[in-house]
Structure 1
Amino acid sequence: MTTEPNLIPSGATIEQLATGSTWAEGPLWIPDEGVVRWSDIPGDRIMLWDAATSEISVHRDAVEFTNGRMLDRDGSVVQCSHGRRRLEREMPDGTVTEIVSHWGEHRLNSPNDVALAPDGSYWFTDPDYGITQPREGHPGIREYGGCQVFRWSEAEGLTSVIDDMDRPNGIAFSPDGGTVYVTDTATAAGHGPGHWIRAYDVHGSEASGGRLFATIDAGVPDGIAVDVEGRVWSSAGDGIHVFSPEGAELLFIPAPEVVANLCFGGPEETDLFITATTSLYRIRTSTRAAQS
């Protein structure tokens, strides 16, 4: 492990909390329950790890291939459904309802990851993995023709905010909400799509000024998280790479499996939870997530 001083406490190591997933994705710490909820996409189920007991359980199955999720301000969980091709909400009582599934007359592809903007709107990525990967959804076509990043709000509905990426995937905001980071996981060689994280300036309901923020050489940057100091923590084929707000690499944490996604949480909000291929892992840190 290479590390910037003070980001990882002395002696902290990556530890496996759960295994047995087919492809683990979309981790979320739910503080009111003291659990991590994550997706086993090909397994078509949502899993739970309980921090108090270390017990592992199935939260729900036959969930239509959920992927990324976020905690809304009302305590509900907003999640991406590949199978239903929609953004949906699960209330604390277990009720699941649709938020949005169409852009105009066209169905979405397969929403992948979602982030809460400072204004309370939801920004989510819409690549096509759920309609092109047999294990992750159902065969289908891109009805609107591309793969975009969308913004949804109750007042304004659904709008496209980023349309210049190949396969937008992970998404997260800077602490002040002025920048949104999006990963691209298109299959490509070199440092183009599939290996980069892009940054965009956010002006209310719009994004502009797209630019290269950082590249990942090992595998692809899938899910990302941003801490309170604006550092970007990215998944990769070999572990976790952490970048300064300026894009300089500060930290590398090797992982025993290909990392898909990550989130901060735990009793002190300083644990980094990591979904990697078949497993859920944790490493202690000295920081916490940026709050939208």
Structure 2
Amino acid sequence: MPSRLRRGLSAVLIALACLLAPCGTLAAWAAYGLADTGRYVAAMAPLAADPRVRDAVADTVGDGVMTEVGAGPLRGTVRLYVRDAARSFTRTDAFRAGWDAANRAVHTAVLHALRDQGAAGRPVRVDLAPVTARVRGRLVRDNVPMAQRIPVRHTEVTVLPAREADRLRKGYRVLDVAAFWLPLAAVVFAVAGIAVAACRRRALTATGIGTAVGGVLLALAVLAGRRLTLAELPGAVDDPAAGAVYDALTATLRTASWLLVGLGLTVAAASWLTGRYAHLLRRRRPPGNPTADPAPPRPPRARL
């Protein structure tokens, strides 16, 4: 194969590999990171101590209670009392237990709906009875008065309408396939591009630089996704709390993007330094033609 054709083919394969690397990382994060209930709950657990999330939950609970209470001459006083009580509750172990139970219940229900092909056209609902039971058990262990009398009722709430669930179900199937094939294709293209290159050292350096650039682009995409996500939220959603949730969910993806940057720069630097070292060794070799026949030795001179 001519050297020019080999350089062109190598450039195309390496470019495809560097393009697929961040895409495969994103797909793997969505399919294996977000789709794992244990990892999801572990990522969301620290948010129970985040003041932004606690204030948002307290305000939501307070508004819900005031809606049930209705108007009255003492509405303002009751509102302050309810919100203070809700904020005090968000600082307890019972709230943290309920937070973990709620996240686990919602994630399990959504994941089951995404994987169930027969659930098309149906909304995703969550039964709050396990969450209530978890909170009541924690309050009982903390010796809170009247906690044992808290009723545990099977109350279902809709977390995803049918239209949104169907759209996410199609995207989940695509991610499930892409999470396996995209990283594999990136590795195959990178190896093939380096193998067919006229100068493999330069191809390896280009692959490392391209991988680092892909990692930077992935990190920028995460930042852009945060802005777009917060901009599209309804007005009733608290932006600081939603931003904290987004940051918690994408922490692994941000780490993966910087790992791509570090790996790419390390490979590129190692390849460049190896080439410079080989070049210096060639320059230090003594001049001469090693293939030429050596000159015959001169006979010793006779001494007088």
Same fold (TM over 0.5): no
Q: Which has the higher helix share?
A: 2
What range is the shorter-chain TM-score in? under 0.3
TM-score with structure 2 setting the length:
0.22
Give the alignment's TM-score, normalised by structure 1: 0.23
| Larger relative contact order (Cα-Cα within 8 Å, sequence gap ≥ 6) | 2
